[in-house]
Structure 1
Amino acid sequence: MAALEVAERLHLPQMDCYVIHEVYDGDFSQEQFEAELDAALEHQYRHIVIEPARLGDETARWISVGNCLHRTTIVTGAVCLLSPLGLPPNCAYYVGLPAGAVSVACAALYGVSWQSDPCCHYQVDYSGRELALLPPGTLRTSSPVVLVRRENTQRKRLHNVIALTALAYCVQKLFELCTD
């Protein structure tokens, strides 16, 4: 609990920033850091700075997995939908259907495991621009992970529209294959 109290005092309201400091108070420090991160995500701070290396790495990896699923859904869905325009009809089946299936599978996996997670609203700032805005002396480590909250409503809409359109295309093509 002491780590939570320390972190609450280090909320920087002028920046809407929350810093999770790497303070080890006992055997349950990792759980305390995770509880702080959960509280910060639920509060929807614009910036979250994670000093504990293990938690920062895990969070950055989790966000990159979600980004990979999102991008794979978009790219394979676009390949599925554009394959009939650029390929001969019999080749379009061999490219479009598998690409559509991958798009739908990635969208389903994203929807089940990631879309409701509060981390999906955040991106990792690898450039260091957001870190440079913090007041001097705020951080106790040289390489924290900085999460920046981004509006992703349009991104999710595009993601879902492409996946659903790819699904409709695949169902139509499978129906055509079965009836011929």
Structure 2
Amino acid sequence: MAATECYIVHEIYNGENAQEQFEYELEQALEAQYRYIVIEPTRIGDETARWVAVGNCLHKTAVLSGAACLLTPLALPAEYSRYVALPAGALSLACATLYGISWQFDPCCKYQVEYDSQKLSRLPLHTLTSSSPVVLVRRDDVHRKRLHNTIALAALVYCAKKIYELYAV
């Protein structure tokens, strides 16, 4: 593996501001767009993994609730479908909006936590002092953003149409 593909944030404590140094190194590695980033310090690794998990949860919730909004009218009678479709559409729109505001421009959103032991075996993890580092892998997120934005917008259009129909009559 080329040296430009992997960056390791080592857990080396030099002085009082070690945690800030770890965060700075991680930020620099994210900005440099390394393919793999290994985070050895436990605290910052756990925080980063949670941040990625929350972003993934928002994305999946936007997609699934948007799909529920759009598919409910096909599965339920018209007089009942709005009780599921409208809240699901609002949830989809809220999650897509929150993702867009909080995650879209964060360089961390381009990364996922890698758990595949076969892929992890190719990384220089033997040089680490930590037994449980967090490994981030850079992935293209253009398609996932398009997916949840498209579904959320379709849910918004459907909900606006249904609300108009409810109150215009």
Q: Which amino acid aligns with 1:157?
A: R
Among 149, 152, 169, the alignment partner of 2:138 is: 149
Give the gaps of 5 or more residues in structure 1.
1-11
Normalised by the length of structure 2, the TM-score is 0.96
Partner in structure 1 of residue 79 of structure 2: 90
Mapped to 2, the partners of 1:88 and 1:169 lie a distance apart of 16
| Equivalent residue number for residue 10 of structure 2 | 21
Letter in 2 for 1:86: A
Distance of 1:98 and 1:167 partners within structure 2: 11
- Secondary structure of the equivalent of 1:169? helix
Change (3 A) 1:39 1:15: closer
Percent of pairs identical after alignment? 61
Which of 40, 53, 71 in structure 2 is aligned with 1:64?
53
RMSD: 1.3
The number of residue pairs the alignment matches comes to 169
2:98 corresponds to = 109
TM-score, L = length of structure 1: 0.90
- Label 1:160 to 1:136 Cα distance change in 2 as closer, same or farther (>3 A): closer
Task: Map 1:26-175 onto structure 2 (within 5 A).
Answer: 26-135=15-124, 137-175=126-164
1:106-126 Cα offsets, whole Å, 9 max, x none, are 111111111111111100012
- Secondary structure in structure 1 of the residue aligned to 2:14: coil
